[in-house]
């Protein structure tokens, strides 16, 4: 009988047997972070719904656009440190404290620069910039928690993620009971975000010396920055082109299904956590080619399960969206946007697989090719078809990216098998 390489679940068996393994640490940290981010996603749903109910559809469209600007800006501000910094600080408390100060300086400076760029370029008004800045400061506020994850404790990061989500919800909730206009809500969102700073444990970084040289730190973060930026631009390009050619009401029609997608994202977090055994196995066990092949075969299941959830969400859209958002959305918009979550989930699975196989650049190239094609499609159809054109652009681009990523991952698996 031939010996088979240890399966990815063998580490789970050791963990249940009481042995503390690296796999066990990954599972515990991933579970803690998934809980924090899941709560954050859940809290975004009432925040979006309240804006639509209290301030109207046009305000909801503008709010959605500002949220898109914020998401892209956050990637620039993070500068890849959410992944690079814990890796640098792993098991070294002194390095973690020194890195906290470095990252705080880096991300705080970038947040102010991006916010200033939004105002000077005319993308946002001053009050809207306060709202964008509230999100841009998030990475700096959570930096101490991110670095504690490198020491094996993800609880602070998860708590800060959830607390920031609550802080951003409070001003919108207050508008139900107080005579606040939307600009005041934007301003109070920044104030509420800054109120989280005392809980961030950033004071531990005061008086510390830089832990590593700046140049290697920035070089390591730049690759991750490019991956995150390409991914965010890919996911937001339809909305940005739509906003450039239409008005806030049309943006609202396209953005409305995002409320259901936010709920769908809660299921995606749980689904994504099932990838952990394969990804850990790829990095730690022999037989990586076989495990990569197994992970690829699982991608169809990720797409199928997400598609089933998306079909339910799309069927509920005509009933739920008018009640939650006080906004009628055409099925020609809702169905493509919601169904695009299925290939998007498969692409995310494949990206994690390629990252574990240390080939993330290949996925970035696939995103870049699809982004250019999607932008050309959007420029051709959105001026004429508006939200419907943007919705179909989203579905087609996500499907194209998944097929490209699948092809890239298969070639990687074949190459590894030939080397082994």
pLDDT tens digit sequence for 85-115? 777 776 677 777 777 788 888 888 999 999 9
**Alpha helix positions (H), 275-359:** 276-284, 288-325, 331-339, 341-356
Q: What is the per-residue pLDDT for 289?
A: 57
**Tokens 């031939």 correspond to what residue?**
2
Cα(200)–Cα(142) distance, rounded to whole angstroms?
Answer: 6
Query: d(Cα 354, Cα 344) in Å, to the nearest integer?
Result: 15
Residues 33 and 107: their CA atoms lie apart, in Å, by 21
With 0-12 / 13-18 / 19 or more C-beta atoms within 10 angstroms meaning exposed / middle / buried, residue 214 is: exposed
pLDDT at 312: 83
Per-residue model confidence (pLDDT) at position 273: 45
Residue 124 DSSP symbol: S
Distance in angstroms (rounded) separating the CA atoms of residues 86 and 76: 18
Q: How many CA atoms lie within 13 A of 166 on its CB side?
A: 10
List of the chain residues with pLDDT < 70: 1-38, 90-91, 149-153, 203-213, 260-295, 353-360, 413-420
What whole-number distance in Å separates Cα of residue 48 and Cα of residue 324? 9
Which pTM does this prediction carry?
A: 0.80
For residues 225 and 85, the answer to whether their CB atoms sit within 8 Å is no
Residue 10 has what pLDDT? 45
pLDDT at 154: 73
Q: Name the residue ranges covered by the structural domains of the chain.
A: 18-212, 226-420
**Three-class DSSP category at 195:** coil
Q: Looking at residue 183, what is its pLDDT?
A: 93
Q: Measure Cα distances from 207 to 81, 102, 106, 146, 319 in Å.
A: 21, 12, 16, 19, 56
The residues near 99 (Cβ < 8 Å, ≥ 6 apart) are 85, 88, 89, 147, 211, 212, 217
Q: What is the pLDDT of residue 270?
A: 45
pLDDT digits (tens, 9 = 90+) for 240-290: 999 999 989 889 888 888 776 665 554 454 444 445 444 444 444 444 556
Closest to 196 in 3D by CA, of 154, 164, 148: 164
Among 115, 27, 102, 38, residue whose Cα is nearest residue 69: 115
256 contacts 321 by C-beta, under 8 angstroms:
yes
């Amino acid at each position: 009988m031939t010996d088979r390489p240890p399966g990815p679940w063998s580490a789970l068996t050791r963990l249940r047997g009481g042995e503390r393994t690296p796999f066990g640490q990954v599972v515990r940290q991933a579970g803690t972070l998934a809980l924090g981010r899941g709560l954050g996603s859940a809290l975004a749903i009432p925040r979006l719904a309240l804006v639509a109910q209290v301030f109207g559809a046009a305000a909801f469209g503008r709010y959605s656009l500002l949220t898109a600007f914020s998401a892209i800006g956050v990637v620039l501000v993070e500068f890849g440190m959410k992944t690079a910094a814990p890796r640098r600080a792993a098991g070294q408390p002194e390095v973690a404290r020194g890195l906290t100060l470095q990252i705080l300086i880096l991300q705080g400076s970038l947040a102010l620069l991006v916010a200033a760029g939004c105002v000077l370029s005319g993308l946002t008004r001053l009050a809207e910039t306060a709202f964008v800045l509230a999100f841009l400061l998030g990475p700096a506020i959570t930096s101490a928690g991110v670095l504690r994850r490198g020491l094996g404790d993800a609880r602070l990061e998860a708590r800060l993620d959830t607390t920031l989500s609550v802080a951003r919800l409070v001003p919108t909730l207050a508008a139900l009971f107080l005579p606040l206009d939307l600009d005041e809500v934007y301003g109070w969102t920044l104030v509420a975000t800054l109120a989280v700073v005392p809980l961030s444990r950033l004071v531990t970084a005061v008086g510390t010396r830089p832990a590593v040289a700046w140049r290697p730190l920035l070089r390591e973060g730049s690759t991750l920055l490019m991956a995150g930026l390409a991914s965010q631009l890919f996911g937001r390009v339809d909305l940005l082109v739509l906003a450039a050619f239409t008005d806030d009401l049309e943006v609202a029609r396209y953005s409305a299904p995002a409320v259901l997608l936010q709920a769908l994202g809660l299921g995606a977090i749980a689904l994504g956590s099932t990838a952990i055994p394969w990804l850990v196995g790829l990095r730690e066990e022999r037989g990586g080619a076989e495990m990569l092949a197994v992970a690829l075969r699982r991608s169809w299941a990720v797409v199928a399960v997400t598609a089933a959830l998306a079909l339910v969400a799309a069927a509920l859209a005509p009933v739920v969206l008018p009640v939650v958002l006080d906004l009628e959305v055409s099925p020609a918009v809702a169905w493509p946007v919601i169904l695009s979550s299925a290939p998007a989930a498969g692409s995310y699975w494949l990206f994690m697989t390629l990252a574990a196989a240390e080939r993330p650049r290949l996925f970035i190239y696939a995103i870049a090719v699809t982004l250019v094609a999607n932008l050309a499609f959007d420029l051709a159809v959105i001026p004429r078809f508006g939200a419907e054109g943007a919705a179909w652009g989203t579905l087609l681009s996500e499907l194209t990216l998944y097929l490209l990523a699948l092809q890239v991952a298969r070639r990687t698996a074949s190459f590894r098998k030939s080397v082994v």
